[in-house]
Every structure is written in structure tokens, then in C-alpha cells.
Chain A
Amino acid sequence: MSEQSTHTPAVGTSYVRTDLEGKVLGTAEYTADIALPNMLHARVLRSPHPHANILGIEIGSATKLDGVFDVLTPFNVPEGKVAPDVPILDSRVRFVGDEVAVVAAVDIDQAKAAIDLIDVCYEVLPFSTNVHDSLNSASFPIHSEGNLVNGGPLIETRGSIKEGFDQADYVVEDSFTTPDHHPASLEPRAALASWDGTRLTVWKPSRGIHADKNILASALGLSPNNIAVVGPAMGAGYGSKDETRTSVMAALLSIRTGRPVKLELDREEEFLAGRRRHSTYTEIKMGLKKDGTITAVHAKTIMDTGAYLSSGPGVVRRAGQGILYLYKCANVKYEGQLVYTNTPTAGSYRALGAPQGHFALESLSDKASEILNMDPLEFRFKNHVGPEGQPGERTTPRNQIIDTQPVEGGVPFSSNELRQCLKLGAEAIGWDRRDYIENAAGPIRRGIGMSMFIYRGGPGGQSNAEISLDQDGLFTLNVGFMDVGEGSSTVVIQMAADTLGIPPAMVRINGGHTDKTPESPMTAGSTLTFSAGHAAMQAAKDLKDAIINASLKLIGLGDSEGLYLTPNGVKSKCGESISFLDIVHNAGPIKTLASVTPGSKDYIVNSFGAHFAEIEVDTETGHIEIIKYIAVHDSGRIINPRLAEGQVRGGVSQMMGFTFLEDMEIDPHSGVALNASFLEHKSPTIMEYPEIEVIFADSIDPIGPFGAKSLGEPPCIAPAPTIANALYHATGVRINDLPLTPDSVLLAMKNLL
């Protein structure tokens, strides 16, 4: 085949991100940048109460104001739902900032003026701003089913923890908390809707235009065929930017007024009405033999889902993945409770629960190694789950696809280079010198810490891709997924181009419009490269066959054997050739559509990694400085090293907010968010950015497209426990409650004395 390799493969090269030019020019269009003729502007009236019934709304003065076209209230909207527990508007409000009414007016000033004229009669209800109050039996129910979602915990178990703990020589246990962490994407939510009398078009930041179309259809009682969703460039969301009322309210206003309507949230609204990472309280317990073998792991996590359910059930499950699967252990149990509170809603945020679960697990592992008098790295080497998976019996029937976040034992991984990650990271950080660090006189203490992780991702839902050879002799990949800033368009182009045997520059991508693209799942759970990659490869493979068949007739050869694609067209072994332009001019454009259901019936597809950090702690100020940070990842074959490194460096830095700074604070007496702004909800700036070295394990997954696995979310899992473990090594202080602020460090040190 080597004679056919007339072009350099794109997979494995740092091909330039395809959508970056528009972003540096300022021409890339985001939802808020779009304006339509006769467009109205909408503004939301939000609840000042954490919990109340709306008894009545007086909108007369507002509707009479010049330039006001419509006011939506819970009493004049259709009965559809945005999510199972979220009506279009509800006569019950459940957090300070919940939607009460929406105005559409000629401009935003007029809309704001109208908002001020709306008079709402509230019946204020008892409320709770934390899970412990919500779970109190005397607490007022936030939803009719009660405050504990499903009335009990999600329970996942393998083996018997009773037997496991009975076998243990030591039991180590502790409890941990993590904060309300807000993604606060720089682009606030926005939606533009235009109803032409029969058909609705909605522009919105989206990670799943086809899913959004179905949500709009169901909420508004329209046929999905009468809705188009357009996903312009997206100012990121990290998973959080859906499941809210924004686009439905804009759409309904457009339908009622017959004018295009744009609704842009401001920064404070994005903090309140967006989605945050669930805060957690976790009790975790580990049974150990004297030789370091883990006999049992048991964890109970309580998660605060806020006012609405959102993606909570998925997140609470994922917080248990490390607990259930990171360490080789026959007896494990995870119990996850999801609890309503009268606070802004939690939802999907990059790595969905895994950072919270791993913070508890990986902090406890360091405690376990200390009890065993064993080096923490050695403890991981001894106990990490290996390529063979967990002990136990497979319970998934043989003909069914294995879950990517399994509980059962007896199923191997498609690839698992966790051990390699540990070795590479230990070398890069210089773990050997950890026991010999000498601190100079003065307040600075140096320490080294590490942690490791496991994450699902890879196979997602059924994915479709269409690819065509067009009139201009170039190719178009037609896909329904959204590139939300992670660069998936670029890597999928690379994979399609290599499958065809042409340079990636010959492949355009067309996406972001439900009318023009085949159905695709959401960009979620780090599944896109794997799933859309497989679909694009299959479509490209089929297209290659179709092009070869077409050219066969045109060149007049009898045998497709020996025909192959080059950047210039189809060639035969004997030297005949035909250009792509000639093929399409004679045979017309050629198009193929592929549909794949990614996954494996034999293997678990998971990603792994280990992070290491060397830090300095100023024991007088409580400030922690990262001297060196090493992130080692097994994400299978890396399709685009520069983009992949950027994902890891960005993910680690983003989680420095979770580790050191960020917590949405809710006043317990009023339910008001105290820091719903960038000034008060401190996020990492460029000044806090540490040097991060990224290492990819040598790994090619046998199932992944071109050997790739997942990467988008995994960088976010290990940072917090890595830093907390380094802090302990540096100072002897273990902090179980994030974020690790300077005052919490100082307080913990004071308590130590």
C-alpha cells in the first residue's frame, strides 16, 4: 500500500483549528451578534424570593408602555415543558432569579422599563439553601415529589462491602465537600427566534442543535419539522448551556408577536439562571489489608441540584465512577443522593461529578497510604485497576454493548495505560526526590502530590455523518454535532481526510443547522471524537468506494482493485488517472451517509490519567504557588497534539478555580447569590496560570477511531486532589473542603498547632 500513500496523514499532526480565522478576525458570528430586521428585544423579570407562589401578575401598565409588544406570564403561556420539572413559566418560583415574566419590546431599554412596571403578588414560602435543611423532614417540599430526588439514593454495588470490611486490617474514612462551581462561560446565554407564520427558526448557543429542536417542539407543541435550530459560534458552555427557558421564551414571544425576538442574558443572569457544578458532601470509607490491598470502598454522596433536576441523575451517577472502578476491589458500594434546594440549578459542567468524587477518593487514598506507611504512588501502583478490569462476573448479556461507566466486574478495558501514566508522571515530576525535599528557613514549605483518575467517554449515542464530493472538486462533511470550542470539527476533518486519502484542506465542514445536517447527539460526556469520528470515517470510506466505482466507468477500467484517491483525483496502479472535477462533471456530485452506533460488546472504553504537582505554600499568608504541574493522559491515539494539549492545559487551569477560588455563595437568610459577577466570583486569570506540562501516554485504542478515546473532560478530574495531596505533603495540613483558599489554609495550620 505504501505506493499509494501520496499524501501525508493528517491524523497525529497539529492541523490548524478550522474555525480560528473568523475568531481572530472578529467575524465569527455568535448568537448575540446576529440582528434581524424588525427584531424585538426581550427581558426577563426574575424572582426576588427563593421560594414563592405567584398568586397574580398585573401587566396592564407594562403592556401599555410605548414599544412594548408582549408580556409572557405563567398565566398566559401554553402548558408545555422545557424539562420534566420546568414548565415554560411556572406559578411557583424556586430560587432568587427564577423566571417570572418576559417582555418583548422595540429595544432593551423599553423592555427593562416595562419590567419595572410589572406588579407581582407573591405568597412567600419557607425555603432552604442547603441540602441538610432540605432533607430535614420538616422542610417545605420544593417539588411535589419531595426534596430527595426519587425518594432515595442511587445505589450501585459490586460484591459485598460487609465482607470487604470484615477482611480489613484497617479502615480509613473521612468526609469531603466541594463548592458550587460555576462554568460562567464568557458568552452569556442568548437566543434569537423568528417565526414566519408556519415555521420557527431559533439561533442559540447549543451543544446539540437536534436535541434543542426536539425540546422546542415539545415545549411549544410544534412539529419538529416546523422548527430549525441554528447553532452559531458558541462562546463555550463546558456542558452547561442548555436545558433553560431562554430559547423557548424567545420562540414563544416571536410566535405571538410575529416579529423576530432576541433575548440576551446579562452576566448576573448567566450566573443565576445558568447551570453550575453540583456542590457535594461525601462520606467515604476504605478497608485495607496490612499489605496495602483494598478490601472495600464505600461512599455516600449528597449532591445539591438546586431548584431543578437538570442533568442531576447523570451527574450523581458519575460522581461514583472513581469510587466504583478506579481501584481493583471486589467489594464496592456507592450511594448518591440528589437533593433540591432553593438555589440556582446545578447541571452539566465539564466532567460531571467526576471531579467531586475523585477529590474524596484520591484524598482518602493518600490517607490510606499514610496509615499503611506506604508511598502514595506505590499505593496506586499496587491497587489501580488494570487492563483486565475489575474482579467479578460479567452481568451484561454477551450480545449487549458494555456500559462505559460499569459496575460489574469481569469485563476488560479496550485499553488501559494508567500504569504508564503513573510512571511517566513520576519521572517528569521527579517523585524520587519527594522524601528528600529540604525546606529553607522561612515561611515557605515545598511539597509534591499526585492523584489519578478514570473517566467514561468515548462511545456516545447513534451518530450520523454525510460526506460529499462537490461540483468544485472539494469535499463537504455534513454533520449535526456542534464544535463548542474544543476543536472537534478539526479532528473529525482530519479523520475523514485520512480515510479518503486526501489533504484535510480539501474537506470543508458544514454544521450548525438542523435542516442541513443529519441527526447527531449532543456534544457531551467526551463522546464526540469517538462517535462522530466513527460516523465520519464510515461515511468517508463509503464515499471513497463510491468515487472509485464512478471513476471506474469513466476511466474504462474493469476492476476497482488498485484504484486509489490522491489529492488530485483517482489514480490506478497502471498510471491512469481522473481528476475529482472530471468525476463530478461526468457523474455529478457523489454523496454518502453513514450511521453508526459506537460501542463495544466485549470491552469497557474508558480514559485514564495521573496528575502530579509540586507546590510551595507560604505558611504566613496561606498562598499556594504551583511550581510544576504534570498532566499525563491516556486518551488513546492523539489526533491533533496541539489542540489536545490546549484542552488539557485549559482544563487543568479551569479547575484551579474549583481548587482555589470559586464558590457561588448563597445568603442563607435571603437565598440571594452574593457573588454573581466576575469581580466577586473570582476565576483564574492569566496571572494564576501555572506552567503545565502535558504528556500523552503511548496508547492506541483498538476500538476508537484511529485509536482515539475521550479527552475533553478528563483534564478536569485530578487537579483538586493533586493539589490537596501536595498541600498535605508540604505542610501536614489536609483540607477536606474546597476551595483551598488562603484563609482555609491558615486556619487549618492554626488548628494543627
Chain B
Amino acid sequence: MDSHLTSDRVDMDDNETTTKFIVNGREYSLKIDNRYTLLDILRDHLRLTGAKKGCDLGECGACTVLLDGKVVNSCQILAARIKDKDIRTVEGLSQSETLHPLQLAFIENDGGQCGYCTPGFIMAAYPLFESEEELSTEEIKLSLAGNLCRCNAYGSIIDSVAYALEIKTNE
């Protein structure tokens, strides 16, 4: 069904490169197939399954992670692009037993229903939390517009992010 994805198979070995990168502060050096995406590397090779495969086409945002601090759809990042990059996933937000304020805010405001989009939304909101600027609700929404929530828990997601930003300001 996915003729745009399948291609004539070539010998895997020709496409493998040893790539160094950092995920959640930990350095990796892996021999990986260049055609693999960051999402596949995270999920299948590193067993970090917080980023989800909702579409594999960059349309839903469930696989959102940070690449050198920038929000990306990890399903659209080919292996070649992660060389020497610093990647952060939802698993890298909490410090041992302590949840990140964004994670706490999502719990406090019931920011997830089925939860499949939740890691993606939290990672998409992360730069907002790090930003020094004061953000309006409209700006929060714009920053999260690339992430779908089919439960449509958008109201609670907006509440969660706004709450986290407010807590930070008041600290």
C-alpha cells in the first residue's frame, strides 16, 4: 500500500554508517542504516518508546523530540542528520524520581486522555517552557499546532502548558 515507502531492496551493509550522537545526555555510537529515521532508531535500537509512530509522515506530531533544542518530528529525520547531534526525548525530562514541571502540569490539569499524543505535546511545549518570553494563549496554541490529539483534549493541553508557564514565572 505504501508504494512511496518501498523501493527496490539494496544490500543493507552498503547503507550503514557508524554515527555518534547524544540522547538524553548519554553518548551513543551506533552502526545504523542511513535510511532509518530518528524515530526508528529511538524506538527500535535504543528502546526509547515514548515517542510514538502515529503516521510516520510528519503529520501528527506524536514522535516529537528535540534535536539540538529544536522541536522536530523524529519520523522525518533521517539517520544521517543526527550525527553529533544532541537529542532529547520525553524520557529525558524527569530527573530520577522528580517529574519535570511540564509533566506535573499535564497530570495536574488532566492534559491527556488516551495519552498517545502526550509525549509529543510535552516535547513540543518544552521550548516554550525554556523561553524567557511571556506567551499568550494564541502563541501557545500556534506552537502546538503541529501536534494532533484525536481525543481532542486540546482544552486541557492548553491549560496544562499555560499552568506550567505560570508556575515557572511565579517561582
Q: Which residues of A contact B (CB under 8 A)?
A: 14, 16-17, 19-30, 32-33, 35, 46, 97, 109, 112-113, 115-116, 183-188, 233-236, 238, 264, 266-269, 272, 484-487, 642-643, 646-647, 649-654, 656, 677-679, 683-687, 689, 692
A268 to B122, CA, bound (A): 26
Say yes or no: B6 contacts A28, CB within 8 Å: no
Interface members, chain B 144-164 (any A CB < 8 Å): 144-145, 147-158
Say yes or no: A484 contacts B110, CB within 8 Å: no
A679 to B57, CA, bound (A): 9
Identify the closest chain A residue to B138 (Cβ).
Answer: A687
Say yes or no: B114 contacts A234, CB within 8 Å: yes
> Within 8 Å CB of B116, what residues of A?
30, 185-187, 235-236
Q: What number of A-B contacts does a CB cutoff of 8 Å give?
A: 192
CB distance from A727 to the nearest CB of B (A): 21
Identify the closest chain A residue to B122 (Cβ).
Answer: A24
Which listed residue, B53, B117, B152, touches A689 by the CB 8 Å rule?
B152
9 nearest CB pairs, A to B: A26-B50, A485-B114, A23-B115, A235-B116, A653-B152, A236-B114, A26-B90, A33-B49, A689-B154
> Within 8 Å CB of B89, what residues of A?
26
Query: Given A26-B91, A113-B9, A267-B54, do A649 and B103 touch, yes or no (CB 8 Å)?
Result: no
Query: Given A25-B94, A269-B1, A678-B55, do A186 and B112 touch, yes or no (CB 8 Å)?
Result: no
Which listed residue, A20, A188, A685, touches B115 by the CB 8 Å rule?
A20
A264 to B122, CA, bound (A): 25
Query: Given A186-B117, A485-B114, A686-B145, do A29 and B49 touch, yes or no (CB 8 Å)?
Result: yes
Say yes or no: A485 contacts B113, CB within 8 Å: yes
> Within 8 Å CB of A186, what residues of B?
52, 54, 60, 62, 114, 116-117, 148-150
> Within 8 Å CB of A649, what residues of B?
152-156
Query: Given A24-B103, A654-B150, A686-B157, do A268 and B2 touch, yes or no (CB 8 Å)?
Result: yes
A684 to B148, CA, bound (A): 8
> Within 8 Å CB of A234, what residues of B?
114
> Within 8 Å CB of B154, what residues of A?
649-650, 653, 684-686, 689
Which listed residue, A46, A652, A686, touches B147 by the CB 8 Å rule?
A686
Task: Offer 9 A-B interface pairs, CB within 8 angstroms, sorted by A.
Answer: A26-B89, A30-B52, A188-B53, A235-B54, A650-B151, A653-B152, A654-B151, A678-B57, A684-B154
> Within 8 Å CB of B94, what residues of A?
25
Identify the closest chain A residue to B53 (Cβ).
Answer: A32
A654 to B93, CA, bound (A): 30
Which listed residue, A30, A485, A689, touches B155 by the CB 8 Å rule?
A689
CB distance from B36 to the nearest CB of A (A): 10
Which listed residue, B51, B57, B112, B113, touches A267 by the CB 8 Å rule?
B57
CB distance from B33 to the nearest CB of A (A): 9
A646 to B153, CA, bound (A): 7
The answer to the question of B118 belonging to the interface, with a C-beta cut-off of 8 Å to chain A, is yes
Interface members, chain B 41-89 (any A CB < 8 Å): 43-44, 47-57, 59-60, 62, 89
Query: Given A109-B9, A677-B59, do A25 and B151 touch, yes or no (CB 8 Å)?
Result: no
Identify the closest chain A residue to B50 (Cβ).
Answer: A26
Beyond A32-B53, A46-B1, A653-B155: 12 further Cβ-contacts under 8 Å? A14-B110, A24-B99, A24-B106, A24-B122, A25-B99, A112-B6, A183-B150, A187-B54, A233-B114, A266-B56, A686-B158, A689-B141
CB distance from A246 to the nearest CB of B (A): 14
Say yes or no: B1 contacts A272, CB within 8 Å: yes
CB distance from A634 to the nearest CB of B (A): 21
Give the contact-size bracket for chain B.
35 or more
CB distance from A669 to the nearest CB of B (A): 19
A432 to B84, CA, bound (A): 64
> Within 8 Å CB of A679, what residues of B?
57, 59
Say yes or no: A683 contacts B113, CB within 8 Å: no
> Within 8 Å CB of A642, what residues of B?
110
CB distance from B170 to the nearest CB of A (A): 21
Say yes or no: B49 contacts A26, CB within 8 Å: yes
Say yes or no: B103 contacts A235, CB within 8 Å: no
> Within 8 Å CB of A236, what residues of B?
113-114, 116, 150-151
Q: Which residues of B contact A (CB under 8 A)?
A: 1-2, 5-6, 9, 12, 43-44, 47-57, 59-60, 62, 89-91, 93-94, 99, 103, 106-108, 110-119, 122, 141-142, 144-145, 147-158
A487 to B43, CA, bound (A): 27
Say yes or no: B151 contacts A485, CB within 8 Å: yes
Which listed residue, B56, B91, B113, touches A25 by the CB 8 Å rule?
B91
Which listed residue, B5, B118, B152, touches A23 by the CB 8 Å rule?
B118
Query: Given A187-B54, A267-B56, do A20 and B110 touch, yes or no (CB 8 Å)?
Result: yes
> Within 8 Å CB of A646, what residues of B?
110, 113, 153, 155-156
Identify the closest chain A residue to B89 (Cβ).
Answer: A26
A650 to B55, CA, bound (A): 21
Query: Given A16-B107, A654-B151, A677-B59, do A687 and B142 touch, yes or no (CB 8 Å)?
Result: yes
> Within 8 Å CB of A654, what residues of B?
150-152
> Within 8 Å CB of B107, what residues of A?
16-17, 20-21, 24
Say yes or no: B152 contacts A678, CB within 8 Å: no
Identify the closest chain A residue to B35 (Cβ).
Answer: A109
Say yes or no: A27 contacts B115, CB within 8 Å: no
Say yes or no: B55 contacts A267, CB within 8 Å: yes
Query: Given A184-B150, A186-B148, A272-B1, do A233 and B6 touch, yes or no (CB 8 Å)?
Result: no
CB distance from B23 to the nearest CB of A (A): 13
Which listed residue, B5, B106, B114, touches A187 by the CB 8 Å rule?
B114
> Within 8 Å CB of B99, what residues of A?
21, 24-25
Say yes or no: A683 contacts B156, CB within 8 Å: no
Identify the closest chain B residue to A184 (Cβ).
Answer: B150
> Within 8 Å CB of B111, what residues of A?
24
A25 to B154, CA, bound (A): 19
A650 to B150, CA, bound (A): 8
CB distance from A127 to the nearest CB of B (A): 18
Say yes or no: A650 contacts B119, CB within 8 Å: no
Identify the closest chain B residue to A19 (Cβ).
Answer: B115
A97 to B94, CA, bound (A): 42
Which listed residue, B52, B106, B156, B158, touches A235 by the CB 8 Å rule?
B52
CB distance from B144 to the nearest CB of A (A): 5
> Within 8 Å CB of A183, what residues of B?
150
Say yes or no: B119 contacts A26, CB within 8 Å: yes
CB distance from A150 to the nearest CB of B (A): 32
> Within 8 Å CB of B113, what residues of A?
236, 485-487, 646-647, 650
A511 to B60, CA, bound (A): 29
CB distance from A31 to the nearest CB of B (A): 11
A288 to B1, CA, bound (A): 53
